[in-house]
Amino acid sequence: MNLFHEKSHATTRRHFLGKFGLGALAFSLLDGRAASAALSGATSDPMAPRAPHFVPRAKRVIYLHMAGSPPQQDLFDPKPKLTELNGQPCPDSFLQMERFAFIKGHPTILGSPYKFAPHGQAGITTSELLPHFQSISDEVTLINSMFTDQFNHAPAQLFLYTGAPRPERPSMGAWATYGLGTDNSDLPGFVVLVSGGRQPDGGKATFGSGWLPSVYQGVQCRTVGDPVLYVSDPPGMDRAGRRRSLDALRDLNEKQAAYFGDDETLTRISQYELAFRMQVSVPDVMDISKEPPEVHEMYGTAPGKQSLANNCLLARRLVERGVRFVQIFDWGWDIHGTGPSDDLITHLPNKCKEMDRPVAALIKDLKQRGLLDDTLVIFSGEFGRTAMNEARNGSTYLGRDHHPHCFSIWMAGAGVKRGYVHGATDELGYRITKDPVHIHDLQATILHILGMDHERLTYRFQGRDFRLTDVHGKVVKALLA
């Protein structure tokens, strides 16, 4: 599909004739035809389900993003050597050719204050901060050898979701819906849920459509108040009245689309129609109060609150109803140690408590409902954290700085191995020693699991065929089940 070309084709004749005034006769003749040509785009719904390049392993994705980036040494990648060397100056080689976001001078090694133990049949070793994760560790593929190019939050998040560290390009969920459409035409194909009281640093570009038609951008739903802002009718407007006004608006927009041939007008028509259907469907799917008590118990949810737990439950409800891509952001994982609100001893355990139970519940719930068969779940931050204590401005709280050279993520569900650990880092957890996985490789693998070849999922913009993986990326076959 190339709406860009559709636009250029639809524009020229009418504009030429319009501007040079060849007369009412020619204009009316051609305008009628052109209108039908432009609207053929409107009738072919940009969100209609489409076949992927090959048989997919997953039909849907839930991406759990811990914004700020949790410390891998304290959760997934145990490094006893760090504990042994705790408090000693780090090796000089750690500082050569290196820039840190905050660390200054010669930092000291910071061992993890938390105990690790192997769990489950696969014996994946995780931290005591994640008691619930132990129960799902046999379901996940843990990658300890992720690395990225970026060491600040916004560029690293953009890099992860759009393939470039600058805002402009489409996000992963936009690429997914551009490639596959969505199954439930009453709900957005790409839903974004945010908790932790803050938007991701990368801003809305982390779930935007970039230069793809804006119909593919993520729709942010709120867990407090109206799920989607401004979608409910104001007092005094009944549904029939809304329908009539939308019909009138659609007629005007169709005229506009026929005249200017701008695909954004078509996007707008279909978005209004979607919004109209969402007035019924969204409050229904977003209302978690109807879930039975044992579900709330399992997730630790509290209806009417903004929380990661609520969003995990919502994610399950959304994929159950055929939403293609659910993107969750939870802020608060930026463990710098500048005070008790972002340190390793007080803050990290609190965040883990908020996260561990609902995330494990989500995997178990998807599994028992059979949804894990065709849903891929990914859990990650945007980069890793240093093996050294940050001690910004002499802070006595423990914390770690940003670290792009290695970090841990996990995936579970359709298409990936169960109870598998991929890659390894050196004994101080500073660099990768085995099977490095770059961000572009992760993106290529996710698209592959969805049935798409990352080299063939392209969009022509400004004379170039763009991809999510830019000109890089290799599918990591070892992760695939």
Neighbour-count burial for 431-443, b at 16+ CB within 10 Å, e otherwise: bbeeebbbbbbbb
Nearer to other proteins, 149 or 284 (CB): 284
| Segment interacting with other proteins (CB under 8 A) among 26-34, 118-126, 380-388, 407-415 | 26-34
SS3 content of the chain, % helix, strand, coil (to 5): 40, 20, 40
Q: Is 451 an interacting residue with respect to other proteins (CB under 8 A)?
A: yes
> Residue 28 CB, nearest distance to other proteins (Å)?
12
Type and span of the H or E element at 445: helix 439-449
Nearer to other proteins, 141 or 223 (CB): 141
Neighbour-count burial for 301-338, b at 16+ CB within 10 Å, e otherwise: beeeebbbbbbbbbbbbbbbebbbbbbbbbbbbbbbbb
Alpha carbon 163 to its chain's center: 12
Q: Is 457 an interacting residue with respect to other proteins (CB under 8 A)?
A: yes
The amino acid that residue 241 corresponds to is: G
Q: Is 41 an interacting residue with respect to other proteins (CB under 8 A)?
A: yes
Q: Of residues 40, 88, 245, 341, which one binds other proteins by CB under 8 A?
A: 40
Pairwise CA distance, residues 338 & 224, whole Å: 31
CA dist list (Å): 65 to 107, 161, 162, 316, 326: 28, 10, 14, 16, 11
Q: Is 239 an interacting residue with respect to other proteins (CB under 8 A)?
A: no
> Residue 212 CB, nearest distance to other proteins (Å)?
12
Q: Of residues 364, 392, 472, 474, which one binds other proteins by CB under 8 A?
A: 364
Nearer to other proteins, 158 or 257 (CB): 257
Q: Is 44 an interacting residue with respect to other proteins (CB under 8 A)?
A: yes
| Segment interacting with other proteins (CB under 8 A) among 182-190, 237-245, 376-384, 421-429 | 182-190
Residues 374-413 that bind other proteins (CB under 8 A): 374
| Segment interacting with other proteins (CB under 8 A) among 6-14, 94-102, 215-223, 235-243 | 6-14
Pairwise CA distance, residues 160 & 168, whole Å: 13
DSSP secondary structure, 157-168, as one string: HHHHHHSSSSBT
Instruction: Give the list of residues 6+ apart from residue 12 with CB closer than 8 angstroms, or none.
Output: none
Nearer to other proteins, 392 or 418 (CB): 418
Cβ–Cβ under 8 Å, residues 387 and 94: yes
| Segment interacting with other proteins (CB under 8 A) among 95-103, 217-225, 233-241, 365-373 | 365-373
Interface map 131-150 toward other proteins (x if CB under 8 A) = --------------------
Nearest to 407 by CA among 53, 70, 12, 35: 70
Q: Is 298 an interacting residue with respect to other proteins (CB under 8 A)?
A: yes
Q: Is 435 an interacting residue with respect to other proteins (CB under 8 A)?
A: no
Cβ–Cβ under 8 Å, residues 439 and 164: no
Cβ–Cβ under 8 Å, residues 440 and 467: no
Pairwise CA distance, residues 68 & 72, whole Å: 12
Q: Is 271 an interacting residue with respect to other proteins (CB under 8 A)?
A: no
Helix, strand or coil, per DSSP, at residue 402: strand
| Segment interacting with other proteins (CB under 8 A) among 4-12, 108-116, 202-210, 311-319 | 4-12
Q: Is 56 an interacting residue with respect to other proteins (CB under 8 A)?
A: yes
> Residue 36 CB, nearest distance to other proteins (Å)?
9
Residues of this chain that bind other proteins (CB under 8 A): 1-2, 4-6, 9-10, 29-30, 33, 37, 40-41, 44, 48-56, 59, 179, 183-186, 281, 298, 321-322, 364, 367-370, 373-374, 451, 456-458, 460
